[in-house]
């Protein structure tokens, strides 16, 4: 629950500083968290909030792709600002080597032997990563190691 407190504190600071980008981004994130809590019927833990932040970042990266096709630099700039605001609340990311080491350990722990065991490895691995790497990057690393 400390992450929620940090988000609310950052929102208050953004409001006092009249930082519209931070205020709007944090309000959208807190709304998404509240909606998810209502849907689940329980409070979200920090790991679930980290994954929600990553989902929000992914949505903004997708909007950047669309804005690039439409040649809208204003939207690209705004999305990049929002991404940097959201990334500030994620734990320090994993390096490629650290991710590789965690994937190897999870493969050994789960007893995976091939690409069909990707789900087993992901089930073991994702709780250890908790917001330090996007799920699609982790999944690709698992598939790469299981294929070799």
As for how many domains the chain has, the answer is 2
Quick one: 62 and 127 in the same domain? no
> Of 87, 118, 135, which one is at a domain's C-terminal end?
87
Quick one: 11 and 82 in the same domain? yes
Q: Which domain holds residue 75?
A: 2-87
Quick one: 70 and 22 in the same domain? yes
Quick one: 76 and 17 in the same domain? yes
Quick one: 19 and 76 in the same domain? yes
Quick one: 10 and 70 in the same domain? yes
Quick one: 62 and 123 in the same domain? no
Quick one: 9 and 81 in the same domain? yes
Q: Quick check: 121 pLDDT over 60?
A: yes
Q: Summarize pLDDT for 53-80 with one digit per residue, the tens.
A: 989 999 999 999 999 999 999 999 999 9
> Of 87, 107, 132, which one is at a domain's C-terminal end?
87
In the chain, what percentage of residues exceed pLDDT 90? 50
Cα separation values, 25 from 92, 119, 128, Å: 20, 33, 27
Q: Quick check: 143 pLDDT over 90?
A: no
pTM of the full predicted structure?
0.75
Look at residue 148 in the predicted model and tell me its pLDDT: 74
Quick one: 44 and 115 in the same domain? no
In the chain, what percentage of residues exceed pLDDT 70? 99
Quick one: 30 and 82 in the same domain? yes
Which CATH number is 106's domain given?
1.10.10.410
Q: Report which of residues 148 and 143 the model is more confident about.
A: 143
Residue 63: partners with Cβ closer than 8 Å, 6 or more residues away: 75, 79
Quick one: 33 and 103 in the same domain? no
Q: Summarize pLDDT for 11-57 with one digit per residue, the tens.
A: 999 999 999 999 999 999 999 999 999 999 999 888 888 889 989 99
Q: Quick check: 118 pLDDT over 90?
A: no
Quick one: 43 and 100 in the same domain? no
Q: Quick check: 1 pLDDT over 60?
A: no
Look at residue 107 in the predicted model and tell me its pLDDT: 86
Look at residue 78 in the predicted model and tell me its pLDDT: 94
């Amino acid at each position: 629950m400390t992450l929620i407190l940090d988000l609310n504190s950052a929102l208050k600071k953004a409001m006092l500083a009249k930082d519209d980008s931070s205020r709007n981004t944090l309000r959208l994130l807190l709304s998404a968290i509240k909606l998810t809590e209502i849907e689940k019927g329980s409070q979200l833990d920090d790991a679930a909030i980290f994954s929600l932040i990553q989902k929000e970042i992914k949505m903004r990266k997708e909007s950047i792709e669309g804005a690039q096709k439409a040649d809208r630099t204003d939207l690209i700039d705004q999305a990049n600002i929002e991404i940097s605001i959201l990334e500030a609340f994620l734990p320090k990311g994993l390096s490629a080597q650290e991710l590789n080491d965690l994937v190897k350990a999870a493969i050994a722990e789960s007893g995976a032997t091939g690409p069909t065991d990707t789900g087993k490895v992901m089930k073991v691995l994702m709780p250890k990563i908790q917001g330090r790497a996007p799920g699609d990057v982790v999944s690709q690393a698992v598939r790469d190691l299981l294929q070799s």
